[in-house]
Amino acid sequence: MGVVVSGDAPETDLAPVVRAACGGDQEAFRLLYRAVQPGLLRYLRGLVGEEAEDLASETWLQIARDMRSFRDQGAGFRGWAATIARHRALDHLRRHRRRPALVDDAEVLVDLPDGQDTADRAIEVASTRAAIALIATLPRDQAEAVLLRAVVGLDAKAAARVMGKRPGAVRTAAWRGLRRLADQLEEHARDQQQRDAATPPAAARRASGAIATSGPVTRTAGATPKGTR
């Protein structure tokens, strides 16, 4: 095809590739996979945890079967792929009658790099596995809205179609989720600063360690300190 598509390509850049893939162009389908799979996998990981890769494979099998019948109904190809993935994930959760196992917030935050502008960083770190696990600790609607907007890259209208909600409700859920993540990152940063402040400098630790290992000072019985004779 002679077309290069990155994972960050906007939906408009995907349009010619989608048309070619719908016509049976296998190279176009491979380009779509490379562009959409990273965000789709992170989205599934936020919904079902470690089973994400298996469900992503099932999702792409269905996409391949239904590709020729794809019609953009307002969510674009990414939204269509996310809808298929979402149905797979919800079916999986219903079969197992559970939500994904959530990790402790503090455990996840340890793996996140230090940050300054926490509100923006809540989006910037969304590509990391630790951040996806942290997003999964949010209330269900907030977590999914953040995943679809910040990870998959859908706009509010497309995300609303995937979730079956109004765009305004999705915007609100995403904002609340990001705000909550930012608060958690800020709290983690404060706790880290307090821990750092309570830890003595390396030189002081070495000195205290040397004193501790030198043992108690003993005197020989009957010995008189020098200068007192």
Question: How does pLDDT run across 131-151, given as a tens digit for each residue?
Answer: 788 888 899 999 999 999 988
- Specify the domain boundaries for CATH 1.10.1740.10 within the chain: 9-101
Check residues 115 and 47 and name the one with the higher pLDDT. Answer: 47
| CATH 1.10.3720.10 for domain 104-196 | no
Which pTM value belongs to this model? 0.68
pLDDT of 43-64, one tens digit each? Answer: 999 999 889 999 999 999 999 9
Whether the CA torsion 32, 3, 129, 152 is positive or negative: it is: negative
Check residues 50 and 12 and name the one with the higher pLDDT. Answer: 50
Check residues 201 and 116 and name the one with the higher pLDDT. Answer: 201
CA 71/CA 15 separation, integer angstroms: 12
CA 96/CA 88 separation, integer angstroms: 12
CATH code linked to domain 9-101: 1.10.1740.10
